[in-house]
Structure 1
Amino acid sequence: MPEPFVAVPSYGGRTAGARRLGLATAAVSLPSTDAAPLVATAARPLDVSGLGPLAEFARNEEVTDLFVNGDAGLWVDTGHGLLRQPDWNFPEPTVRELAVRLIALGGRHIDEASPCVDVRLSDGIRVHAVLPPASSTGTLLSIRLPRAERLSLAALAADGLFGMGAASVVAVDRLRAAVRRRENLLITGAAGSGKTTLLAALLGEAMPGERIVAIEDVAELRVDHPHVVALEARQPNLEGAGRIGLDALLREALRMRPDRLVLGECRGAEIRELLAALNTGHDGGAGTLHANSLRDVPARLEALGALAGLGPEAVARQAVSAIGLVLHLERRDGRRCLAPIGRFALDDRDRLVVVPAHPADSVRVVHVGRPEQPGKTGRTHGRRAAAPSEPGRLDFGGPA
């Protein structure tokens, strides 16, 4: 039986005994053509006291995820694959009690009627819990631990996210320029690929006088910027009332005069509101999307658009006009990396495709597989989406 503990809900202050020591980070030596800082913002350690018996495992700064599978044990991810912890040995009733208490600390409830819940605790710690009967292997806990420091683009480059050497420098300068040109960005990748981390670093490059409004299902973004306001979705109460979805929050955010509108993750019909907003003068926005690869992004957008009642052609034309760059993240051999950068374009059937984004892109858009017509141009957020050299073939080889 774990010892009783007192934790802090996501909307409350910190416990009296929480440590407030600063954690300095080493400078990163990375060539750059811009004078942006090359270090992660100094930060105190994460307050993991709310995790109770899991806190001792979460204090390791290399740990990114904790997984409890009922009475079958605890697994920890330090970036090199999952490792089972032999020191963890709690029965299923105790794990269930822990899950109920953690979810309650995030301001939500979990029971047989609502057996799957996602919440945020203090310092952006994300907890997802599943109770039987939805889980046939006992109570499941999945805990995501954010980095204590807020990483800049240069710090991510030093960690190898954008490759090595000159290619990394080019990628950093290009992404920084895209933010300052106020291009709308879509960041894609699998779960745990670093989408939220990269999004936060990009938003940190925005001008200090800009107002960033972020909408998330569960707040995770930790942006090093002086003017960030966050909206978080809410599940229904015990009577089934009071739900506030991402689509409703997007509409509310438009009334808050955002300079940059950010959707933490597109996962449903809210894609309609996001594309509509980015097509009505809200430049500099961003969002994330789950996708297996860069080539799969159009199909994912079409599927989400169908949930909102949009046909493939409508999704394609909205996306081509709204999104400037598509940034896809992958995990290779346990390390996160950025795939070649893409842009949206229309094929000869007016369907959405992704083509390589080259630095020499002009302000015109071409249709894949269709010859350009003199005097007839399109728009992809003020930039051209370069077509591949051979119609119907997408070549993503070489540096982005």
Structure 2
Amino acid sequence: MTRHRAERRGAGLRPSPAIDLGLLESVRRSVLSESGPVTGLRVAAALRDSGRLLGATGSLAAMDRITAELSGLGPLQELVSDPRVTDIFVNSPNSVWLDRGMGPERVDVAFDSEATLRALAVRLIAVGGRRLDDSSPCVDVKIDPGYRVHAVLTPISSAGTLLSIRIRRPRVFTLKELQTSGCIHPVMGSVLRGMVAARLNFLISGSTGTGKTTLLSTLLGLCNPKERLVLIEDAAELNPDHPHVLTLEARHSNTEGAGTIDLDELIRQALRMTPGRLIVGECRGREVRELLMALNTGHSGGGGTIHANSAMDVPARLVALGVLADMSTEAVALQTASALDVVVHLERINGLRTVSEIGVFSLLAGSLVVESAIKTEPENTGIVAGPGWAALAVRLGLDPEGTVLERSCSLASEEGQL
């Protein structure tokens, strides 16, 4: 069984009541002695049959603990109760971290041993239909209720079992909420709203954990309710507040190495579904060719996310992905300049996920470039217009000679208004 010190530093949770480990192990054996899913009823029956008088509080605590051990995240389960937690990282039995939007924070949660940590990782991967062992030491799966689990074993990891869990929250933030929280400057918010209304094709760029998926879900929620959104994802994470959403999810190979369905195949299938907007959750491989081709055939208002260090680095990233799809640099440049209008870049500024820049794609002497249109000033206090503003203004239907983005930042920031 695992042991964890229940009071987490800075997490605001009360310590869990102490539970006898012998009782936990006894109930655990009793529950696992029967086949079938682990349910609260079976755990309660096993506790009753143990003959131990725990009282109402003790019984509930024991049930929560055993259920987490057998079908949840074990000692990590209580971390999920904080709705702000988006990621959990386990670097060793005594090194557990989480992210609540302000960067990694170490918490006072621990496993009994490396063997216990490995057992949890193996169980979670098995729930996702994959195998984690010496022959397959690096695995990524999605499991209910919305966890993306990645595990690495030794000798790939020199420190022992590594476990990373990304939590998909069912709640979607509105654009106004992101503005209020400081993630989006009001001027940026108005431009993003106008981008969706004008059906510009876009990419959202940034490094891991900057909030690309969160922002994409928010923007998709701004789409006309009559539009049909078709989402292509490696693992379903987008959950836009929209009445007509279809999600196609890639399938990894089975234990025999067969049955793979990649994102590029799903994009081809999606084009047969009459998508109002075609969205690829993350461009990370040869599917970029299919996306660019689709957006070059009359499909407007689509796009996706991409990993990049800055908005200016997105062209280089696209070229690198295009090489995987046997595209030349010239082909990527021409296809992208025709298919995509805007790149929205996110960063962590002082730990806060922030929309830092919006740029426009263009060709310069035959090379693909991104020109900065608007950029947030340090501390997210204002907006600076860049050389790409005139081109963006034209695409948004604004006056490119206007003073909307000069120091007054007078672009209307009321919700729904440009």
Q: What is the TM-score when the length of structure 2 is the normalising length?
A: 0.73
Separation in structure 2 between the aligned mates of residue 217 and residue 81 of structure 1, nearest angstrom: 25
Q: Tell whether 2:217 aligns with 1:195.
A: no
Q: Tell whether 2:391 aligns with 1:361.
A: yes
Question: Are residues 298 and 60 of structure 1, via their aligned partners in 2, closer, same or farther at CA, if it must alter by over 3 Å?
Answer: same
Indicate if the aligned counterparts of 1:73 and 1:89 stay in contact, CA closer than 8 A: no
Question: Are residues 398 and 315 of structure 1, via their aligned partners in 2, closer, same or farther at CA, if it must alter by over 3 Å?
Answer: farther
Query: 1:139 — aligned with what?
Result: 161
Query: 1:346 — aligned with what?
Result: 363
The runs of 4+ residues in structure 1 deviating greater than 6 Å are 13-17, 381-384, 397-400
Indicate if the aligned counterparts of 1:103 and 1:110 stay in contact, CA closer than 8 A: yes
Question: Are residues 124 and 362 of structure 1, via their aligned partners in 2, closer, same or farther at CA, if it must alter by over 3 Å?
Answer: closer
Indicate if the aligned counterparts of 2:183 and 2:354 stay in contact, CA closer than 8 A: yes
Cα offsets for 1:29-53 (capped at 9, x unmatched): xxxxxxxxxxxxxxxxxx9973232
Q: Residue 249 of structure 2 is aligned with which of 232, 241, 259?
A: 232
Q: Tell whether 2:82 aligns with 1:60.
A: yes
Separation in structure 2 between the aligned mates of residue 113 and residue 260 of structure 1, nearest angstrom: 41
Separation in structure 2 between the aligned mates of residue 172 and residue 382 of structure 1, nearest angstrom: 13
Cα offsets for 1:301-328 (capped at 9, x unmatched): 1111111111111111111111111000
Map 1:121-200 to 2 at 5 A. Answer: 121-163=143-185, 168=186, 170-200=187-217
Residue 103 (structure 1) shift: 1.4
Structure 2 SS opposite 1:339: strand
Query: 1:71 — aligned with what?
Result: 93
Query: 1:331 — aligned with what?
Result: 348
Separation in structure 1 between the aligned mates of residue 194 and residue 273 of structure 2, nearest angstrom: 26
Separation in structure 1 between the aligned mates of residue 105 and residue 172 of structure 2, nearest angstrom: 26
Residue 72 (structure 1) shift: 4.2
Residue 383 (structure 1) shift: 8.8
Residue 398 (structure 1) shift: 10
Separation in structure 2 between the aligned mates of residue 255 and residue 117 of structure 1, nearest angstrom: 32
Separation in structure 2 between the aligned mates of residue 225 and residue 78 of structure 1, nearest angstrom: 26
Indicate if the aligned counterparts of 1:106 and 1:120 stay in contact, CA closer than 8 A: yes
Q: Tell whether 2:116 aligns with 1:86.
A: no
- Matched to 2:160, the amino acid is G
Separation in structure 1 between the aligned mates of residue 107 and residue 255 of structure 2, nearest angstrom: 36
Query: 2:320 — aligned with what?
Result: 303
Indicate if the aligned counterparts of 1:324 and 1:383 stay in contact, CA closer than 8 A: no
Indicate if the aligned counterparts of 2:170 and 2:239 stay in contact, CA closer than 8 A: no
Q: Residue 334 of structure 2 is aligned with which of 296, 301, 317?
A: 317
Q: State which drifts further: 88-97 or 70-79.
A: 70-79
Query: 1:108 — aligned with what?
Result: 130
Indicate if the aligned counterparts of 2:293 and 2:335 stay in contact, CA closer than 8 A: yes
Cα offsets for 1:78-105 (capped at 9, x unmatched): 3334333334133111111111111122
Indicate if the aligned counterparts of 1:76 and 1:84 stay in contact, CA closer than 8 A: yes
Separation in structure 1 between the aligned mates of residue 337 and residue 80 of structure 2, nearest angstrom: 42
Hey, which of these two has a bigger chunk of helix by percent?
2
Separation in structure 2 between the aligned mates of residue 363 and residue 61 of structure 1, nearest angstrom: 38
Structure 2: gaps of 5 or more residues: 3-23, 32-36, 42-66, 374-387, 401-406, 412-418
Question: Are residues 312 and 359 of structure 1, via their aligned partners in 2, closer, same or farther at CA, if it must alter by over 3 Å?
Answer: same
Structure 2 SS opposite 1:261: strand
Q: CA RMSD in A?
A: 2.9
Structure 2 SS opposite 1:251: helix
Query: 1:390 — aligned with what?
Result: none
Indicate if the aligned counterparts of 2:220 and 2:240 stay in contact, CA closer than 8 A: yes
- Matched to 1:353, the amino acid is V
Separation in structure 1 between the aligned mates of residue 241 and residue 129 of structure 2, nearest angstrom: 26
Q: State which drifts further: 67-76 or 317-326.
A: 67-76
Residue 206 (structure 1) shift: 0.8
Question: Are residues 205 and 123 of structure 1, via their aligned partners in 2, closer, same or farther at CA, if it must alter by over 3 Å?
Answer: farther
- Matched to 2:149, the amino acid is V
Question: Are residues 245 and 114 of structure 1, via their aligned partners in 2, closer, same or farther at CA, if it must alter by over 3 Å?
Answer: farther
Q: Tell whether 2:80 aligns with 1:50.
A: no
Residue 188 (structure 1) shift: 0.1
Question: Are residues 232 and 146 of structure 1, via their aligned partners in 2, closer, same or farther at CA, if it must alter by over 3 Å?
Answer: same
Query: 2:414 — aligned with what?
Result: none
Q: Tell whether 2:275 aligns with 1:258.
A: yes
Indicate if the aligned counterparts of 1:108 and 1:235 stay in contact, CA closer than 8 A: no
Structure number with bigger Rg = 2
Separation in structure 1 between the aligned mates of residue 138 and residue 209 of structure 2, nearest angstrom: 19
Residue 272 (structure 1) shift: 0.4
Indicate if the aligned counterparts of 1:266 and 1:289 stay in contact, CA closer than 8 A: yes
Residue 199 (structure 1) shift: 0.2
Separation in structure 2 between the aligned mates of residue 242 and residue 236 of structure 1, nearest angstrom: 5
- Between the two proteins, the alignment pairs up a number of residues equal to 333
Q: What is the TM-score when the length of structure 1 is the normalising length?
A: 0.76
- Matched to 1:335, the amino acid is L
Query: 1:213 — aligned with what?
Result: 230
Q: Tell whether 2:320 aligns with 1:290.
A: no
Cα offsets for 1:239-282 (capped at 9, x unmatched): 11111111111111111211111101111111100100111111
Indicate if the aligned counterparts of 1:62 and 1:79 stay in contact, CA closer than 8 A: yes
Indicate if the aligned counterparts of 1:120 and 1:126 stay in contact, CA closer than 8 A: yes
Structure 1: gaps of 5 or more residues: 7-12, 18-46, 365-380, 387-396
Q: Tell whether 2:223 aligns with 1:222.
A: no
